[in-house]
Structure 1
């Protein structure tokens, strides 16, 4: 547990960055600090590993004042992930991950298995990537290494300072999903700084919203969405935006499509939600992803059901309900390798706007959507796209 007690930070020029911060961060939770630039969120986080020291007040970890601890030892026991990754460019990936265990004088026989275990946890084959250098990896792969380097020495606390903000939207979405999965397995105490409300809602157990060096509101994503403390919070949360309509059928002859498979066409990062999320959180995820339904998956990405915006709004008044209470079973799904004409025929006959692609273990691996089909057709048969899109009520 981390406690801030009457913490203030005043710089030499008189600027007060933090004002009477009182906060308790629960053990094993992911707490997101969010707010506009200059709100004090990164400053507050950096107090935890003494990169910044308070002008007054105390920061306690498990009841101990961190000012009584050696700062070097303190930092070696706290994982730290930053926006620009910070990998050592002249060290291999394996050596980058092993830095803190080496500094903590781990038995070398323990370090190599730990490095391999962590790389596999984020789907980077150690046989392929361990001896490469950071410059040989994509931005998303480098950020994955940054995350597992922070986990290498198995710290109880991990600080993440806008870790995904420099990535492209697809890589960012993938890493958010990866973080959620890892946290469900490891239950670390994670402090996650972000300026993106949609990101905070997706990954956090608790959100701390800051402005001008003060905490404006603290609570679960669900409680903040339902009960914003003031106009600033309401503005920061933003207005709900839902795109997508429920057009009747697809209206195209499946025989006009060449024999592709759903694997070539499906969206590989469909909008998902875990079953324990609240209804307001689910609506916010829909808004951020601009969809009108979410697939419900567990931490292994096994498909549990689906929840629509209509069902969410109908049950919205039930504040204690979660997604699992209102989700419904999946009526139609296909396996990887299913031909595209077969999948399109299912969608057309059942008047579906999308179709889940689920592997033999029940895991959601992709989603066939009207948009993904239009894009595929545009590449393969541009002459029929206009007709197809017109029947869908969409723009080609």
Structure 2
């Protein structure tokens, strides 16, 4: 466990970078420090390996006051990953990863085994990458090397200062996934600094949100999303991400459904049905009568099976629609039904049973895209 007790940092010009910081980072958790520029998140992280000294207060690691530990010894026991990666360009990948083990005087065989083990851990074939140089790797591959270099000496604690922020969106997403996977396997105590709330929500066990050198709120991503402490937290997290501030914020099937699915009247013949499906490029039709009542669904397979019978209508082939939800039903219920029954869609009807629309996988994805637009969109 890492503990900060009444920690303050005041610079010579009087600037208060940190004010009475009280934090506990549990062993094995991925802890994210987040907040606007200048809030003190990087300063807080650098206190842990004594790159910065506090003006007052106490910092402990595993119950030991770090002010009593030699800073070089302390830093060699803590992994550190930075935004600019910091690989030595004149050294091979193997030599870069082995820097700290060599400082700790590991024997050559043990070091080689550890390097190969770590390369395999992040999906880089040792025979292919061991003797390459950083300039021969992509940005994402270099950052993977930065991460495993921090793991090389098997530290219990890893500090990560915006390690993925300089990467392109695809590489960043891949590295976030990789970090989550590694953490599930290794269970290190990680302190991760970022300014990206989406990144924090995705990777964190515990989030610490800071402003003006103070901790504004801390807790699990779920707790912060559901119960933001104040307007600053709500604004920083983003209104669209917040869950359950009041019932009206919870999406319903009405918010997500498509109101223009392909329908046909029950009196339609089978040739007409085939033509509609061809024109609309669908493999099924919703059968809706003149009073907007949902009579069922018909697939192209059932239509073709009875196609030779010119007397057949869709009313005779329609099968009852398996899942119809009333207007106002929370989206979560629709998703539960779709998941449990492997249903591609559910119908929505009003109190009188009139058909209103369909919640489909596509309409859910579209809703998410509207709620969480991509940056720059």
1:297-312 mapped onto 2 (5 Å cutoff): none
1:1-396 mapped onto 2 (5 Å cutoff): 1-240=1-240, 246=258, 248=261, 251-252=280-281, 313-314=331-332, 328-329=339-340, 331=342, 353=362
Q: 1:312, 1:326 within 8 Å by CA — same for their partners in 2?
A: no
User: 1:240 deviation in Å?
Assistant: 1.4
How many angstroms apart in 1 are the aligned matches of 2:75 and 2:165?
23
- 1:238–1:110 CA distance, 2 compared to 1 (3 A): same
- 1:233–1:140 CA distance, 2 compared to 1 (3 A): same
How many angstroms apart in 2 are the aligned matches of 1:326 and 1:216?
38
User: 1:252 deviation in Å?
Assistant: 3.7
Q: 1:36, 1:195 within 8 Å by CA — same for their partners in 2?
A: yes
User: 1:157 deviation in Å?
Assistant: 0.1
How many angstroms apart in 1 are the aligned matches of 2:182 and 2:330?
27
Q: 1:311, 1:326 within 8 Å by CA — same for their partners in 2?
A: no
User: 1:127 deviation in Å?
Assistant: 1.0
Unaligned runs of 5+ in 2: 242-250, 263-276, 284-327, 345-359, 367-377
- 1:133–1:230 CA distance, 2 compared to 1 (3 A): same
How many angstroms apart in 1 are the aligned matches of 2:332 and 2:231?
26
- 1:153–1:16 CA distance, 2 compared to 1 (3 A): same
User: 1:42 deviation in Å?
Assistant: 0.2
How many angstroms apart in 2 are the aligned matches of 1:160 and 1:180?
13
How many angstroms apart in 2 are the aligned matches of 1:244 and 1:202?
23
After TM superposition, the runs of 4+ consecutive aligned structure 1 residues lying more than 2 A away are: 241-254, 310-316, 325-333, 351-354
Unaligned runs of 5+ in 1: 255-309, 317-322, 334-350, 355-368, 371-396
Q: Show the counterpart of 1:294.
A: none
How many angstroms apart in 2 are the aligned matches of 1:116 and 1:176?
22
Q: 2:78, 2:156 within 8 Å by CA — same for their partners in 1?
A: yes
| Structure 1 residues 260-313: Cα deviation after superposition (integer angstroms, max 9, x where no partner) | xxxxxxxxxxxxxxxxxxxxxxxxxxxxxxxxxxxxxxxxxxxxxxxxxx9975
How many angstroms apart in 2 are the aligned matches of 1:232 and 1:11?
26
How many angstroms apart in 2 are the aligned matches of 1:3 and 1:148?
25
Higher-Rg structure is: 2
User: 1:113 deviation in Å?
Assistant: 1.1
Matched residue of 2:114: which SS?
helix
| Structure 1 residues 242-275: Cα deviation after superposition (integer angstroms, max 9, x where no partner) | 9986574894489xxxxxxxxxxxxxxxxxxxxx
**Count of residues in correspondence between the two structures:** 278
Q: 2:30, 2:203 within 8 Å by CA — same for their partners in 1?
A: yes
- 1:232–1:124 CA distance, 2 compared to 1 (3 A): same
User: 1:328 deviation in Å?
Assistant: 2.4
Q: Show the counterpart of 1:393.
A: none
Q: 2:337, 2:343 within 8 Å by CA — same for their partners in 1?
A: no
How many angstroms apart in 2 are the aligned matches of 1:101 and 1:311?
58
- 1:187–1:174 CA distance, 2 compared to 1 (3 A): same
TM-score by length of 2: 0.68
How many angstroms apart in 2 are the aligned matches of 1:327 and 1:98?
50
How many angstroms apart in 2 are the aligned matches of 1:143 and 1:167?
9
